[in-house]
Amino acid sequence: MKKPTGLAAAGIAVPVPLRLDDASMSDIAQALADGRVDATALAKAYLARIEAYDRGGPALNAVRALNPDALGIAGKLDGTKPSASQPLAGLPILVKDNIATGDKQPTTAGSLALEGAHARDDATIVELLRDAGAVILGKANLTEFSNMLAVDMPAGYSSLGGQVRNPYAPTLMDDRGIPLVPPGGSSAGSAVAVAAGLCAAAVGTETSGSLLYPASQNGLVTVKPTVGLVSRAGIVPIAHSQDTAGPMTRTVRDAAMMLNVLAAKDVLDPVTERQRRPADYTAGLTRDAMKGARIGVPSDPADPLNDPYFDKLPSRSAKVIADAIAVLEDLGAVIVRASMPTPGWIGGPGTTMAVLNRNPLSRFKGTVARPPVVFIYELKRDLDLYLRDWATDTEIKGIADIVAFNAAHAETALRFGQDHFLAASMTRGDLSEREYKSARAMDLLSAKTRGMDAYMNQHKLDAVLFPGSAGCGIAAKAGYPSVMVPAGLISGADDMDTPDYPLGITFAGRAWSEHKLLRLAYAYEQASNMRKAPPGLAGV
């Protein structure tokens, strides 16, 4: 007798009129609007998939904790259909476990030190999701403290939640138990959950690459917004200069729908007061949006020594990107190949600091790592403020308490060390240091003024194209937006064969240009249709 798999193995049968392993959020919303499914049945179906594929089967470990009130919330929405006032009515959404929820769910950032910690209220973006009718299904696993705890911490690992696995190659691990094909980080669980069909959409966060990297690795669309478009109030921080939250979805239209909800001014995050946005990010998503657009490709064959983004791509990755550029040209884009003036300045003198790598499992243990000065200095101030203003049900009151807790529970809490936190705990915590102010000024000079601004002005560009998440640093330091869209499949890691897994392309642009970037990404998406769902996760 054939052994049952997937949902059958979980002993759960929840009939829904869609294949949730690959259904878009738009299709699910339409099924709710048509009355073909209700919110309770939908929530039960996703919970069944989580049981079958996240807890069982390939054990993806993308969902750190489920919301015990999810079915109750869904039940109250059974008679409500998605509408202009509640566009997400009945849609099950996961949020990264550094985003506060003022309910029974803890908000932990994946840290054992914050196990059981709750929040005094919903983060602003969670409140917006609830107002839009979303069912908060649970919290997604992540790289602990958004990959700011330790040097060389694997993407998707947290001491509380364990290791997230990439759904395209979930069983391949190295001799340290680290995935050969990373899930990407730090928003690993958010990305894997969407890719594997464990939720309709998810919300992640980024300081530099934490949305773009996992989106690329899992074949997703994401928007890393302009800093100030989406409120950060109630989100466990790294660095306020660059922190933001953004949607993770299967399609560009879905990302635009989510951004419509998330992008709002907030008195709790004053930087949002300068926000500029259209009334509807889904407006103008057309197949001809690429025609005449000037797309910068920072790779000049006449200047090969100044090509950090494209020059060292593996052959299969290079082909995926070349094919993507050919699609853009076929769509009528003007491709401008020209090196950027300052990418070599990113991480240059005065913007990074020396931190000894004590990570016991790092291949580079004993060497000096160089994290950004801005991250290290803003971390202490910003995290201490979050713990003071938002955290409840915990004795942890500041970064010093986390460092002490981890040291006292090193066997379980410090598998990869806490070198970044040790460095951050030695700063004043008030951002008064000259080295911090200088580093922030240099970041803006290299990434914004003489970087993205100068490049786009000189060549009159509508967007800049990067392979995968390679351009995350220059856009993030400038505070500028990026949109990722799937571009194809690649394989191989650490000189070993692997199953195929995704690679995306990034469209980056000026502040508040999310609508333009979404339109360009949509045109490419519709022409290329490169997203492929992970194998072996079919079913309801």
Which residues carry out catalysis? 96, 186, 210
Residues in the chain: 540
- Cα Rg, the chain, nearest whole Å: 22
In contact, 497 and 491? CB cutoff 8 Å: yes
Which residues lie below 8 Å from residue 349, measured CB to CB, with a gap of 6+? none
Name the 3-class secondary structure at 354: coil
Bridge-partner residues for 508, per DSSP?
Answer: 464, 482
Which of these, 405, 360, 356, 398, lies nearest to 379 by C-alpha position? 398
Residue with tokens 């069912």: 135
In contact, 247 and 281? CB cutoff 8 Å: no
Interatomic CA distance for residues 540 and 529, integer angstroms? 22
In contact, 220 and 203? CB cutoff 8 Å: no
* Complete DSSP assignment for 42-73: HHHHHHHHIIIIIISTT----EEEE-TTHHHH
Interatomic CA distance for residues 223 and 524, integer angstroms? 15
* Residue type (1 letter), 428: R
242 alpha-carbon distance from chain centroid: 13
Pairing of strands 391-392, 118-119: antiparallel
Name the 3-class secondary structure at 540: coil
472 alpha-carbon distance from chain centroid: 11
Which of these, 533, 504, 444, 505, lies nearest to 480 by C-alpha position? 444
Half-sphere exposure of 527 (CA within 13 A, CB side): 24
Interatomic CA distance for residues 203 and 130, integer angstroms? 13
